[in-house]
Structure 1
Amino acid sequence: MTMNFTVYNLETAPEESKPALNGLKEAFGIVPNVAGAMAESPVLLNSLAALFKNVHGGSFTEHQIQVLLLTNAVTNAAEWAVGFHSFLALQQGIPATDVEKIRNGGLPADASDAALSRLARTLISSKGRIAESDVEQFLQAGFDKRHLLEVVAVVAASTITNYTVSVTRPPLESPFDQHAWVKG
């Protein structure tokens, strides 16, 4: 049995989900389809919105956050999220060659971006059980313990999105179609 999920908008969403959808619309200029699908559960959507606000108000630049979010989407094979974050990564000035490297499971050329991407991928693939050598490699790239823990927060935010994508399968919005991705 296939379960279809409604992709709500600002008019049709449950009342408890509307404030979070409004906040996401302010951030992106649209209500992302995955957020519209999340609106079915105000608990899920409001949890993501709070975490999203904290992540984007932390010590990472938007460029760095997009490196992390794109890496996480690829690592979790979340097709919608890969398309969406490929678009946002390019908007944040991440070179197209680096976006393609991440989309193909590789690392960006920039050493700092590569350290972020490597740590995020390792956190996800090891289910959070990283080795001391992973921590040391990340710290030697110029990051500190605060950054290490913020990567955990970014991974948590993207895991909510990536898992919701897997469960609800929202359509990719037309502005992101050229960045569509299929695990392969």
Structure 2
Amino acid sequence: MMIDFRMYDESDAPEAARPMLEAAKKRMGFVTTLNGVMAESPELLAGYNALAEQFGRSSLSSAAKHVVLITASVVNGCEYCVAAHSTLALRTRMPDEAVDALRAGKPLQDRALEAVRRLTQTMVERRGWLEEDEIEAFLAAGLTRRHVLDIVLGVGMKTLSNYTNHIAHTPLDPAWQDQEWTREQATP
């Protein structure tokens, strides 16, 4: 038996979540099913939104942010988030071949972005236990210690949404359908 998690909108969500869903609708044009599920816990929704806002302000380039979000979601097997973040990355004109590589768990051509992908993947797989030589290789690719910590922020943000989607079996929004993804599409 699967537990049914309700998807709220700005009109029927718990009172504390309504303003956040209204803001999301203004920003995106719709309330995502993820936000609708998270609204059950206004604190979770607020925490996720706060992390997303801070990650958006982080020192990582726009492309590197997409690399972190897609990579963490691929490693965690979050079909919803891979589709959503692939769509958003493509909207920012990230090259199709880079998005395809990320979705498949394959290396990127760009040296710095590949360093971000590799460190994110290792961080998620090993729950943060990185070796010194892995961090040194990341730094040697022209990135900084601050970038390492900004990746921690992005992974934390994705952990909240990835786990929520796993638990709630969040249905994919129509806006992300063109980038639908399954765990089987990533290389082991």
Give the TM-score taking structure 1 as reference length: 0.95
Partner of 1:127: 127
Deviations 1:129-161 (A, max 9, x none): 010011111111111111110100000001101
Runs of 4+ in structure 1 over 6 Å off? none
Distance of 1:22 and 1:128 partners within structure 2? 35
Partner of 2:161: 161
| Offset, 1:69 | 0.4
- Matching residue's letter, 1:106: K
| Offset, 1:95 | 1.0
Gaps of 5+ in 2: none
- Matching residue's letter, 1:57: R
Partner of 2:24: 24
Partner of 2:176: 176
Match of 1:181, SS state, is coil
- Matching residue's letter, 1:151: I
Match of 1:77, SS state, is coil
Distance of 1:121 and 1:140 partners within structure 2? 18
CA 64–29 in structure 1, closer or farther in 2 if over 3 Å, else same = farther
Match of 1:56, SS state, is helix
**Mapping 1:35-184, distance limit 5 Å:** 35-184=35-184
Deviations 1:91-142 (A, max 9, x none): 1222111111111111221111111111110000011101001111111111
- Matching residue's letter, 1:39: A
Match of 2:183, SS state, is coil
- Matching residue's letter, 2:182: V
- Aligned-pair RMSD on alpha carbons? 1.3
Contact 1:17 1:45 in 2 (8 A): yes
Distance of 1:30 and 1:107 partners within structure 2? 33
Percent identity, please: 34
Contact 1:63 1:93 in 2 (8 A): no
CA 118–27 in structure 1, closer or farther in 2 if over 3 Å, else same = farther
Match of 1:60, SS state, is coil
Distance of 1:26 and 1:112 partners within structure 2? 34
| Offset, 1:52 | 1.1
Distance of 1:133 and 1:79 partners within structure 2? 31
Match of 1:66, SS state, is helix
Gaps of 5+ in 1: none
Give the TM-score taking structure 2 as reference length: 0.93
| Offset, 1:82 | 0.8
